[in-house]
Amino acid sequence: MNQAQPTATYVNKWSAISRLFHWVSALLLLVTWIMIFTYENTDDSFYIGLHKAFGISLLLWMIARVISRVFIKAPPPVPMPKWQQMISKLSHFALYALLIAMPTAGLLMSVYGGRAVSMFGLFEIPVFVTPDRGLARLFNDVHTDIIWNLILVFTALHIAAALYHQFIKKDKLINRMM
Ligand code: HEM
Ligand code: HEM
Measure 20 CA to ligand 2 centroid, in angstroms.
11
Q: What is the pLDDT of residue 5?
A: 45
Which ligand has its closest atom nearest to the C-alpha of 169?
2
Cβ of residue 74 lying under 6 Å from some atom of ligand 2 = yes
Cα(102) to centroid of ligand 1, in Å?
8
Is 173's C-beta closer than 6 angstroms to any atom of ligand 2? Answer: yes
Q: Is 52 close to ligand 1, i.e. is its CB under 6 Å away?
A: yes
End-to-end CA distance of the chain: 30
Q: Per-residue confidence of the chain (178 residues) as pLDDT tens digits?
A: 344 444 445 678 999 999 999 999 999 999 999 999 999 999 999 999 999 999 999 999 999 999 999 999 999 988 899 999 999 999 999 999 999 999 999 999 999 999 999 999 999 999 999 999 999 999 999 999 999 999 999 999 999 999 999 999 999 899 999 9
Residues 87-115, buried b or exposed e (16+ Cβ, 10 A)?
Answer: ebeebeebbeebbbbbbbbbbbbbbbbee
pLDDT at 10: 65
From the CB of 55, is ligand 1 less than 6 Å away?
Answer: yes
Ligand 1: atom nearest CA of 104 is 27
- Distances, alpha carbon 130 to alpha carbons 108, 117, 125, 133, in Å: 11, 15, 14, 10
Å from CA of 107 to ligand 2 middle: 25
Q: Pick the atom of ligand 2 nearest to 178's CA.
A: 10
